[in-house]
Structure 1
Amino acid sequence: MQDNQAINKARALYYNLFANFFVDTQKTENYFELIRLINILKENPLDPSSGQALVNISEILDSSSNVALLQEFDNIFHNPSTKKIRLTASFYDEGVESGKKRVEMIQFIAKTKLRRDEENYFEYEDSVGFLFSFMAQLCESITNGEKEYENTVHCIFSEIINDFIDEFAKEVYEHESSKVFKELIVVLHSFIEFERLYLSVSKPKVKPKIEEKEVVETISEEELERRARNKALKAMGPKKDQKPTGPIDTASAAESEI
């Protein structure tokens, strides 16, 4: 029992690490939390390769400024002049940004007390950053005695994350602008292999690459508002918050019922 609690705490740390890399935010508090997590995990890595990668990341990153990391993130995921890597499970499943995997994640979320922070986070529920942040919160809840979430964690990993994470990781690792993220993918690879072993989930068979579908998109007013809020939030730049924040609304979570 004690071993499982320690393992779940460690899993939460790793999921939080990845969430802080893949949640698009300019808040310095989140960056300092990321630096803290790197320093913790590099002392007790999963294996030598991920340990060296964490050391490399800590040496590359400026512990006092997130400017370089934000630029690399933009170059990999938002820069139209380079290959743009998609961040949602739905894209790797169907070639569209909002598809069946997003619907599945919304259904999983509805079974928990956790909710998306809709005021500050506007990416889809099956985006990599949200998935990692949500899994971190669930692992934390499990360590606090909420064992009912063990099945939810298993389902999200086996049915959402496991299916696309290898392809996503390969895309990031091979991107021309990937430097810090290339090292991060080494850590992610070790962690995903650990999760598969811990959760008894097999590595999926390699499937044909899904090409992006060209669709005539009918954008609802709600979606237009979501995109406008997201754009405005990014333009505001970093805020002087006291604590790091993420896409999960923990305040609402405490008040919600399953």
Structure 2
Amino acid sequence: MKNNMELNKARAIYYNLFANFFVFLGDNSQYFNLLNLLETIKKAPLDDDSLKAVSNILSKLDLTSNQALMHEYDELFHNPQTKNIRTTASFYDEQVESGKKRVQMLEFIAKTALRRDEKKYHEYEDSIGFILGFMAELIELSNNGQKEYDNTIHCIFAQILNEFIDEFAKSVYEHEKADIYKNLMVILHSFIEFERLYLEVSKPKPKEDLKPKDNLSDEERARRERNKALKALGPKQSCSDGSCGV
């Protein structure tokens, strides 16, 4: 793991920024911190696309109220009249909530002194907001000398975040109601590509579409396959000459 304090400070800023777009604690100071983080990134963006996206986001946000941000968030993740975007790693891994990826996250959390504040944060531990915020805190702890967390940071990125972040970002970017968050995904894309290089983690291979389960037993499925094959052969031959099997 590379030991670059200034670079790690910048990584923590990005993780904090993204987390603040997905975790809302009802505190106005959090929103003002989000605006400050955007201004900080605008001064030293990862690339030209990120600079344009940051500028677009700042132009759409009210400097005194998070109402516009909250409205779009609800449109993307809670509005029953639009396609809701799922936010957990388990869903993108198994099409279920609270699956194996949540168990993995709980195991990683258990290796640290950090814990989810259940009174303030109600989402699962493998939700995008929690993962991003957790990564920011671990990087800050590492920068403060707790290098034992470097391996945990690498593992969470490689085994959890990296596995579903592209699919999640694509869902947000392509959503009909996405505007602020569409620009955010541009910044996120550049940052994730940077993280893959920095942590030496490869982009995952595209997943095959999960086929709907038919709930048939193996015996019934085999019977249907045999019938299908027989029908493909055409009309049955006469068995009077003994040429057909039973």
The 3 A distance-change label for structure 1 pair 53 and 3 is: farther
Partner of 1:176: 176
Q: Return the offset for 1:13.
A: 0.2
Q: Return the offset for 1:27.
A: 2.4
Bigger relative contact order (CA 8 A; separation at least 6)? 1
The 3 A distance-change label for structure 1 pair 113 and 171 is: same
Query: C-alpha distance in 1, partners of 2:3/2:168?
Result: 31
Q: How does 1:100-249 map to 2 (within 5 A)?
A: 100-210=100-210
Query: C-alpha distance in 1, partners of 2:160/2:2?
Result: 28
1:22-65 CA-to-partner distances (Å, cap 9, x unmatched) read 11443211111100100111100111111111111111111111
The 3 A distance-change label for structure 1 pair 69 and 148 is: same
The 3 A distance-change label for structure 1 pair 210 and 171 is: farther
The 3 A distance-change label for structure 1 pair 2 and 161 is: closer
* SS in structure 2 of the partner of residue 131 of structure 1: helix
Q: How many equivalent pairs are there?
A: 213
Instruction: Provide the TM-score with structure 2 as the length reference.
Output: 0.84
Q: Is the 8 A contact 2:53 2:186 kept in 1?
A: yes
Larger mean CA deviation between 46-55 and 86-95 belongs to 46-55
1:93-143 CA-to-partner distances (Å, cap 9, x unmatched) read 000111000000000000011111112111000000000000000010111
Larger mean CA deviation between 43-52 and 11-20 belongs to 43-52
The 3 A distance-change label for structure 1 pair 193 and 97 is: same
Q: Is the counterpart of residue 19 in structure 1 residue 22 in structure 2?
A: no
Query: C-alpha distance in 1, partners of 2:211/2:46?
Result: 34
Larger radius of gyration between Structure 1 and Structure 2: 2
The 3 A distance-change label for structure 1 pair 142 and 84 is: same
Larger mean CA deviation between 46-55 and 191-200 belongs to 46-55
Partner of 2:222: none
Q: Return the offset for 1:211.
A: 7.5
Query: C-alpha distance in 1, partners of 2:84/2:212?
Result: 12
Query: C-alpha distance in 2, partners of 1:146/1:41?
Result: 26
Q: Return the offset for 1:83.
A: 0.4
Partner of 2:34: 34
Segments of structure 1 that go 5 or more residues without pairing to the other structure are 214-258
Instruction: Provide the TM-score with structure 1 as the length reference.
Output: 0.80
Q: Return the offset for 1:210.
A: 4.5
Partner of 1:234: none
Q: Return the offset for 1:208.
A: 2.1
* SS in structure 1 of the partner of residue 112 of structure 2: coil
* SS in structure 2 of the partner of residue 42 of structure 1: helix
Query: C-alpha distance in 2, partners of 1:39/1:173?
Result: 22
Q: Is the counterpart of residue 68 in structure 1 residue 100 in structure 2?
A: no
Query: C-alpha distance in 1, partners of 2:63/2:211?
Result: 38
RMSD of aligned alpha carbons: 1.7
The 3 A distance-change label for structure 1 pair 33 and 207 is: same
Q: Is the 8 A contact 1:95 1:211 kept in 2?
A: no
Q: How does 1:47-66 map to 2 (within 5 A)?
A: 47-66=47-66
The 3 A distance-change label for structure 1 pair 39 and 174 is: same
